[in-house]
Structure formats: C-alpha cells, structure tokens
Structure 1
Amino acid sequence: MSRFKRGGKVDSRAGFRQEKEGCPVPYGLLKSARTSGQLNLSGRGLSEVPQSVWRLNIDPPEEAQQNLSFAGTDRWWEQTDLTKLLLSSNKLETLSEDVRLLPALVVLDIHDNQLRTLPASIGELEHLQKLILSHNQLTELPLELRKLTNLRCLHLQQNLLEQLPEDLGQLCHLEDLDLSNNKLIAIPDSLANLNNLTKLNLSFNSLKSLPPAISEMKNLRLLDCSRNHLESVPPVLAQMALEQLYLRHNKLRFLPELPSCKTLKELHCGNNQIEELDAAHLKHLSALSVLELRDNKVKRLPEEITLLQGLERLDLTNNDISSVPFGLGTLPKLTSLALEGNPLRTIRRELLTKGTSELLKYLRSRIQEQPDGNPKEEPKTAMTLPSQARINVHAIKTLKTLAYSEKQEASIPDDVFDAVSDSPVTNVNFSKNQLTEVPLRVVELKDTLADINLGFNKLSTIPVEFSKLQQLVHVDLRFKAFPDVLYRIVTLETILISNNQVGAIDPVRLKVLDKLSTLDLQNNDIMQVPPELGNCTSLRALMLDGNPFRNPRAAIVAKGTDALLEYLRSRIPT
C-alpha cells in the first residue's frame, strides 16, 4: 500500500474563478512571459498565485480585446508556452489544482514558502524536469508525484517528512535528490531503483542505518549522510562508483570499510567517535584526494597513509595523535595538512601555525636526518661568508630550499641569494620578517621555484615581475587586497591568503587559473562572495570561514567545497 496521500476531487470550475482586484503581478511581466516562456514571481509576498498566472497560456491578453493592429513581436496568438515558473520566497500555504493549466512546465520552483500539501494535479506536469520544494512544511507527498517520470531534480530539504513513499523509486530519470533536514528515520529499499541518481543528500535526519540495497545505485557519485545517527556503514558501498562520501557528525567508531573502492575521491568522517585507522582500509582508497577526520579520537596514524599518493587535503584537527609519519612530507599533491588540537610530541606548536608548506618541509627534513638524530650539516670553511652561517646551505643543495625566515629584517641580504649559486631551488621561505616589498632577486629562481612563503611580513603589493615565476605552484601571503599579479600566474595550484584584510576577489580572473585547487581566504573582510566563483570548478578546497558575508550561510559553507561551488553556481543571474 502506497504511503502517498491521494489528492481530493478537482473543482470543475478550476481556473475560471474571478480574479481579485489589484493583481500583485504586473501585466508587463505576464506579457514578457508569453514571449520568453519564463515567469519569476519570487519574493513578492504572495499568499496565493493569481488566476492570470495559471491561465497565462489560455486566455487572450487584454490588447487582443481592443481594436489594435499588432506588430510581429506582439502577436499574442504565437505566444510561447510557460516552461519555467519561479514562486520562491512567498507566503504560499497551498498550491492550486490549477497548476495543471501549465502542462509545458519544465522547471517549478516553490522553495521557501509555507506549503503543507501538494495538489494531486501536479502529476499532470509530465514535462517537469526540476521541482524545488525545499524550505516548506510538507509532511507527506501526493500519490501522483510518481507520474513525473521525466523529473531530473527533486529538492525536498528543510521540510517535515518523517517517511518516504515506496513509489518514489518510480522516478526513474531522477539525477539529483535532496532530502536533507527532514525527520526521516529510514530509507525505503525502492530508492535502489533510481539507477540514474548521481547525487543523494540525506544529511540532517535521524537515520540509524542505510539499506544494503542502496548499492544498486550504480551511478551515484555523491552521498551525504552527515548529521544522522549512523553507527556503521554497509560494506556494499564499495561496490558503487562513489566519488564523495560525507559521514560527518554521526556515531561511527571505525573508518568505513570500503575494499576495492577505486573511485572515492573525498571521504568526510569528522565529528564521530573514530579511535583507530585500519591500515588495511586505507590502502584500498587509492584515488582519495580529501580525507577529513577532524574532531574524532584517533590516537595513531599508520604509515600506510603515505600510500595515498593522490591525497591533497588531510584534516586531523582535534584528535589524540601524538606523532605522524614523516613520510607525509613526501606526498606529492598534499597542499592542506591540519594537525591543530593534537598532543603532538614531535612537532612544535609554533610550526603548526606556519601553514602546510612549512609543515611538510619539516617532515621531509626529518626523513633525511642521520640515525643519531642530528641533522647533516654543511662543513664550515674559511671561505664561508659570515651570513652563510645563518643560511642552511645543506637545505639549498639537498632539499632545494632557500630559507631566511624569522629574522625580523626589512630586506633579504644579497649573500642569501648568492649562496644559491647554481643550485636549483624549488622552495623559498622568507616568512616572519619586516619586508615591505618582495625581493626582486626572487625572479632569478624563476626556472625552478614552485613554492614561496612570504607570510607575516609588511607587504602591501607584489611587483609585476612576480608573474615571471611561471613554475610557481604554491604561494603563502599576507595582504590587505588580493594581489593582482596572482591572477597572471597560470601555474598556481595553491593560494594561502588567510588572516588578512582582503575585501574582494575577481572570480572571472580566478577562473583563468585552471590548475588552482586550493584557495584559502579564511578570516578576511569579504562582505560578498560572488556567485561566479562557482565556475572555478578546478577548486578542491575553498576555505571562506571567518569572513563577514551573510550568504552563503554557514550551513552551506560547512558542506564542503563541491556543495559550496554548486550553491554559488545556482545563484548566478540568468
């Protein structure tokens, strides 16, 4: 027996009731809709939809009743059927059965209203592909919803649904289903019939388990089960082609067992009760680029984590880890490593504040230490310059690193660059000085320099010559404005510019940086996040916390980079 609520009898006079005086929809808007096929009535304070909207493609316009000659552009009888109707952010408590009078609708957006029910006639919109019902007060769905077999996108988040009908599995073409922020305690097995589903959001519900049948969703790429009561995850998930799995804020005690899961790129398990990482589980996650385990009880990080050669972001914040494998420093793609809030014995606290680049360099240096624990030192000779005693020549020659940090100097002495000689340098660290401008001699390293740290200085600009560093991949800066020159370095993969006073970014110019995977803009003065930033699809880690913008909301930012970018794209004006 279906759990769908059956619709009541339809009023035979539907669509013919007298329009109220003072129609809140301007006639010019209706006229334009006849030409474009689109009508946006969002945010107009509507408590009901005027009859003139439902009968838009049935009744002739006012000018047709007058003795007028029509130009080619005003021939109402050649009007376009309405295909897109936006009714979001109004005060609608019900939706009229007259919605059937717009059978050509492809997009119907009624989010952010006060709907408690849906009309049975919604099932007659056989061309509907996108139905947005989020942020309403729906407790059940009509039986006729199952007739919408052309539906691609169904958003039901932020409602009052306690259970899902079995018939939902009949929406065979559905690709995106959002059921987050409801009151669901179980998922019906019939959802396994949604073979075309690529995104399923079940976050912020009361689920205690997932049905094994979910593994039948062979095209599912993103599964979000955050903020539920899950104690385990069925191993059959490994049979799926998942790329992103969100399990944050549950009751997991172990990392999900996902043998042979070769497609998983992101695994988010923060805010659980995980105490142990099984090495056998880790080594199967060969495609993983993001592993997020913050706010757990992990005590030890196995050496096998260094097998994750594609890892770009590793978040272990607020665990019980006392030491980490030095091999982490050799992971070729790791650009974000968060270890704050752990009782680490082998890493000084101040080193954690210097950023990922410095942390990875430190781990690499520990690998190359001699067995007695003392770093190899370059023997001093009578030819050694006085300042070279303060320059780690060994680091230049073996680690390809030029370090002159924490000197509190206003400029970098020439003999620091002279010490490089003909050695190829890939890393430069001039952080924690009093620099007011970038040393121009950095350009001498343009053929090999990939990573430069200029953080904690007094820089206000970057010279245009900086754009000559065409091998540059990572930059760590501190500025009041986003440096214009960075938009010109197309090789950049990482920009760390947190804890500044940056007020704006140019998303159009950022999109040109098609290799940019990490952009850290935390704790700045950004008042508005431009929606076009969503087009920067190369980003794998976009960090915006600690800025004074109001949109997107914190809940959206917390969902991660992909969800954030998707939200921003949805806000781009059309």
Structure 2
Amino acid sequence: MSRFGRAGKMDSLAGFRKEPSGSSVPDGLLKAARTSGHLNLSGRGLTEVPQGVYRLNRDSPDEAQQDVSFGRADRWWDQTDLTKLLLSSNQLTRLSDDIRLLPGLATLDLHDNQLKCLPSALGELQALQHLRLSHNQLTSLPVEMWNLKNLVSLSLQQNLLENVPEHLGQLSHLTELDLSNNRLKELPSGLGHLTGLQNLHLSHNQLSRLPDSLVRLKSVKVMDCSSNQLSDLPPHLSEMLAMEQLNLRHNKLSSLPKLPALVLKDLYVGNNHIEQLETEQLACLTAISVLELRDNKIKKLPAEIGSLSTLTRLDLTNNDVDALPASLCLLPNLKVLCLEGNPLRGIRRDLLAKGTNELLKYLRGRLKEEPEAADGHTAVTLPSQATVNVHNIQTLKLLLYSGKQVADIPDEQFDAAANKNVTAVDFSKNELTAIPSRLLELQSSVSDINLAFNRLSCCSLDVCLLQQLTRIDFRNNQLSDLPQEMRNLRKLCSITLKYNRFKSFPEVLYQIVSLETVLLGNNQVNEVNPSRLMKLVHLSTLDLSNNDLLKIPPELGLCSSLRHLSLEGNPFRTPKAAVVAKGTEAVLEYLRSRIPA
C-alpha cells in the first residue's frame, strides 16, 4: 500500500488534540463521571488527588475547546455536578483545599488512607451527607467541619482522636456516628443535641463514663459501647425508648444497669464483673431476644428469668452458676442455651454437648421429678449433697469436684469412682498446680476432662496415657507448651487452651489428626503454619482471637474443612476488619484470592 493510501486512514484531527496528561486516572473515568456524577478511584495507589478530579466541573473537556464534531454521548454541556467521590484504600496523606471546587458532593469516601489532617475547605461542602474518614491517622478535626449541617452519616472509626469538640452537636441531621477504635477518654455533652441519631458506635476507646446528655438521644436504635472502661451508665439510660440493640461487652460493670425495655431485643454484657442479676431488671426486658451474659461472675439465676417469653438465645458461658431455675426450661422460644464453663451440678458434660433441645428436655424431666423447695423456688440440683456425690458417679458417670478452691483433689473422690466407668471429670475452678496422678485410674473409661480455671503451668505426661480422651478443657491456666506425647491421643476431638501463655501454636496439635475444635484465643500466639493445619482434615473450629498474629498467611484459606475461624483482636493489617466482620467464609475466600498464582 502506498504512503498516500496509509494517509487516508490517519486521524485527521490528531493535530488539534492535546497529548494525554499522564494522570493515573484514565480519561474515560473522568468523562463518564461528568455524565453520571459518580467517580470511583478506590484502590488505585494514589498519593494525591489528581487536579483533574477537583476541576472536573470547572474545566470543559478537551473536545469542547477544539473546533471539532462529536457524538451525542460526548456533549460536554450535558455534564452533571459530581455528587459521589470514592477515594478509599489509597495512600493519600493530605487533601487539598481545592476540594471546595466540588460543592455538589453528597458522598465523600476517604476511608483506609494515611490522612493526618483535613483542610478547612471541607466545611464548604454544604451538600455533603455521607463522610467516611475511618482507618486514617487523624488526631484532630477542623472546626469548619461542624458546619456540615446536612451530614447524615459520619464515620471516624480507627483514627487517633483523643477528644471530640462540643461543636459535634451542631450536626443536627446526623443519624449515624462511628467513633470506635480511637483514644477517646470522654465524650462532649453536645452529643445530646444529635436528637435524630439512630446508630452510635463508641467501641474500643478509653471511656470511663458516658455523658448524662446521652439520654436525650430518644431515636437511637443501636448503641455499641463495648471494649471501654465503663463501671456504670447514666441513671436515665432507660429513657432511650427506641433502643433495640445495646452492646456493653468488655467493660467493668459490676451489675446489670437499668435498661430501656420497650423494644430492646439484643443485649450484650459479656466480659464484665457482674455477680448478680437483679429480678427487677430482668423482669422489665419484655422484648428481649438475645441476652449475652458470658464471662462474668454470676452465681445464681433468678426464677424470674422464666418470664422472658421472647428470649431465643441465652449465653451464660464461663460464669459461676451451679444450679438452674426450673422456670428456665419453660421458655417457649428459647433455641440456644450456652452453659459451658459453669460448675453445674447434676448435668453431664456430654448432655450439654447434645444441644439446647436435649438439655431443655432433660430439665423438664427433672422439673417433674423434684418437689418444690421450701422457699418456693425450684432449682435443678443433685438429690445428694454428700461430700462424695454418689449420684453423679453412679448415674451420670461424672466425677465432679469443682469450685472448691483446693490445691489437691481428696482421695475419697477417686476411691468412690473406682470401677464405676466414669466418663467425665470436672475439677475446674480450683487451685491445682499439677494434674492429679490418680486420673490414670480412670484411663479405661474417661473421655472428658475439665481442668479449667486452675494454676497449671505444665501438662503432665499422665494425660497422654488417657487413650479414650475426646475432650480436654485447659482454659484459664498458665500453660505455655504441651508434651509431644499428646500425639498418642488418637480420639481427641476438642481442646480448649484459651487464656493461657502460649507464644506459638502448640507443635503437637499439628500431629493430632482427629482434632475438630482448637480454641486458642487470648494467648500470645504470633504465627500459625497453614500447610500443617491443612493436614488436620477434620478441623472445623479454630479460635485464634486476641493473640499476637502480625500476619495471616493466605494459604490458611486452603484449610477447606474450617467452618468457624476467629481472628479478631490480632494486630495484623490484612485482611481488613471489615472482611473479618463478614465471617469465616468471607475471610477464607479473601485469603485464597491473595495466594500468588
């Protein structure tokens, strides 16, 4: 073909066009944003916002400055103001004052960047309704920001804020406020002016009290104050009548506060210092569905708990309850009852493992058998209160000596259990510094051992000879290692090691292929070997929460047998908290996507 022929196919307008600017934002995106009003620049590795973004509605497209023709879809005069700008998951360290050139913005998403401050010009975006600033490094906020009177949602989660000014109360249209994961020690009284607020998130701060003005928030439906230092709550909290969900986990509450009752459905007060449940406070929870009281010091359940007819889930894990009120088994909607880690008398551990329905059926049977107590309250307790509980040993096949605060188990307990085919042993909540050697006398039958809440610093080799073991509970001890001989426990399905001193994943656990459940939360574990975990083909539950894991290897996503994986409370950066919050399946899928091809 001649050079004249080739020339016929050349762009005749090439001489009139400008060279590309070299911006990391494709021109096509900017062009589409002029029409749609939406621009998504998330996850593009930007260290600054390109000037072309700020001037998107100021400068007409290049085509408009040239004497050329273009199609209907390219008509620059049909452009709309930018209303939605997404800049999340980049590497922005600052935001220019030129942000004022986008006055039509209704949504601005800057979460997951490296911002340490914000420009005062941000306060000029009077149309702004949604502002997301979470996962940055903000230590303060510009006073002009409180002029954003149309703001509906404000997310400041995971920053470095030590205080929030009284001006917060000027955001009168705010319905959602997230201040979680900061360094706040107190809240401004101006918070009470946000009367339209519906969702309030204050978790993982250093709050020792909440302002009295909080009770003016009559529209709040969800409030999360977990992981703070609260020892009490404002006395008029019960006036927040719209409250549907309240999270007070991981605080210092010594009693259940007086709470809003009309529509409160979910109440979480686990990991506090509660010792007693007041009858009056329980009776007013007329709409309660989920009541979490785990990891407290509750010794007794009032019979009035049976009046909570809407209750579907009751979690009493790791308390000091030794007897259950008969009324508990009459709750019509109760679907889940968690009692693990309590020194219950008269209920076998294997019965607890069968689930709520079987347990409630058992309790109903006991209710029919046992006469009403002298004080008018019926409780499920043992017929025998002797030093050696013969009923437990002969009928339940349970050797129970829990909560006695003793350093040694009396010989009479083992003598009574001799040749009785005991299957379960519960020596929890004592002062044991060594595992009783006489456990070996039960090696032909015992399958379940509970040694939680003792002072064990090492695991005796005697345990490794109990070939019938399927379950061991060592939580809340001082263990830092397990003997290699434990690999001989070929029937072991579940091991609980929470709240010990492990700095690494116990080597021997990689070799016990029968394991289905490993609970290793609240230790100091700093790494895990996914290739070895994959060999545990039956492992379905793995709890590594609240450890020192700096990195989650992507290969962990290949552990296809896992159905429940707990990773929260570790210092790793990826996967992000938002991914972890979506649950095990989402975490495993994310990890698999990160495996190098």
The reply on whether 1:546 has 2:565 as its aligned counterpart is yes
Matches for 1:334-413 after TM superposition, within 5 Å: 334-369=334-369, 371=371
2:528 matched to which residue of 1? none
Q: Deviations over 1:52-101 (max 9, x none)?
A: 00001111112223333232221111112111100011111110000011
- 1:294: how far off? 0.7
Where does 1:10-89 land on structure 2 (aligned, <5 Å)?
22-89=22-89
Instruction: State the match for 2:402 in structure 1.
Output: none
Contact 2:134 2:159 in 1 (8 A): yes
Q: Which has the higher contact order (CA 8 A, sep 6+)?
A: 1
Q: Describe the superposition over 1:387-431 as per-residue Cα deviations: whole angstroms up to 9, x where unpaired.
A: xxxxxxxxxxxxxxxxxxxxxxxxxxxxxxxxxxxxxxxxxxxxx
Please give the residue correspondences for 1:70-469 in structure 2 after superposition, counting only pairs within 5 Å: 70-241=70-241, 242-258=243-259, 261-369=261-369, 371=371
Give CA-to-partner distance per residue, 1:11-64, whole Å, 9 cap, x none.
xxxxxxxx9952110111111111111111111111100000000111111222
Alpha-carbon separation, structure 2, partners of 1:90 and 1:555: 17
2:21 and 2:73 mapped to 1: Cα distance? 29
- 2: CA distance between counterparts of 1:328 and 1:552? 43
Asked which structure has the greater CA Rg, the reply is: 2
In the superposition, the TM-score normalised over structure 2's length comes to 0.61
- Change over 3 Å in CA distance of 1:86–1:555 after alignment to 2: closer
Q: For the structure 1 residues 288 and 556, does the alpha-carbon distance in structure 2 shift closer, same or farther, using more than 3 Å as the test?
A: farther
* Corresponding letter in the other structure for 1:278: E
Q: Say which SS state the counterpart of residue 167 (structure 2) adopts.
A: helix
**1:187 & 1:59 partners in 2: Cα distance?**
44
DSSP 3-state at the match of 1:90: coil
Question: What residue identity is the alignment partner of 2:88?
Answer: S
Q: Do the aligned partners of 1:327 and 1:364 also contact (CA within 8 Å) in 2?
A: no
Corresponding residue number in structure 2 for 1:381? none
RMSD over equivalenced CA pairs, Å: 3.2
Q: 1:239, 1:261 within 8 Å by CA — same for their partners in 2?
A: no
How far, CA to CA, are the matches of 1:555 and 1:282 in structure 2?
34
Cα offsets for 1:328-348 (capped at 9, x unmatched): 222111111111111111211
Partner SS for 1:368: helix
User: Aligned equivalents of 2:164 and 2:94: distance in 1?
Assistant: 21
For structure 2, the residue ranges without an aligned partner over 5 or more in a row are 1-18, 373-377, 379-515, 518-539, 543-554, 591-597
Partners in 1 of 2:567 and 2:209 — Cα distance?
38
SS at match of 1:122: helix
Look up the equivalent residue of 2:89 and give its one-letter code.
S
2:548 corresponding residue in structure 1: none
**Higher mean C-alpha displacement, 102-111 vs 353-362:** 353-362
Partner Cα separation in structure 1 for residue 54 and residue 564 of structure 2: 43
Q: Give the share of equivalent positions with the same residue, in percent.
A: 56
Q: Which amino acid aligns with 1:250?
A: N
The letter of the residue matching 1:546 is L
Between the aligned partners of 2:576 and 2:335, the Cα distance in structure 1 is 24
Alpha-carbon distance, 1:368 to partner: 2.5
2:153, 2:174 within 8 Å by CA — same for their partners in 1? yes
Question: Contact 1:527–1:547 (CA<8 Å) still a contact in 2?
Answer: no
TM-score, with length taken from structure 1: 0.63
Gaps of 5+ in 1: 1-18, 374-498, 501-521, 529-542, 569-574
> In 2 relative to 1, CA 20–279 (structure 1 residues): closer, same or farther, beyond 3 Å?
farther
C-alpha distance 270-553 of structure 1, shift in aligned 2 (>3 A): farther
Q: 1:239 to 1:264 in 2, by over 3 A?
A: same
Q: Distance in 1 between matches of 2:339 and 2:273?
A: 17
Deviation of 1:526 after TM superposition, in Å, equals 11
Which whole-Å deviations, capped at 9, do the CAs of 1:130-169 have from their partners, x for residues lacking one?
A: 0000001111111111111110000001011111111110
Q: Retained in 2: the 8 A contact 1:224–1:245?
A: yes
| Paired amino acid for 1:215 | V
- 1:331 and 1:527, CA in 2 relative to 1: closer, same or farther beyond 3 A? farther
Alpha-carbon distance, 1:557 to partner: 8.9
Whole-Å separation in 1 of the counterparts to 2:358 and 2:579: 27
Distance in 1 separating the partners of 2:236 and 2:318: 30
Shift of residue 114 of structure 1?
Answer: 0.8
Give the structure 2 partner of residue 447 of structure 1.
none
In the alignment, the residues of structure 1 paired with residue 576 and residue 89 of structure 2 have an alpha-carbon distance, to the nearest angstrom, of 20
Distance in 1, matches of 2:171 and 2:106, equals 15
User: Match for residue 482 of structure 1?
Assistant: none
The residue type paired with residue 294 of structure 1 is R
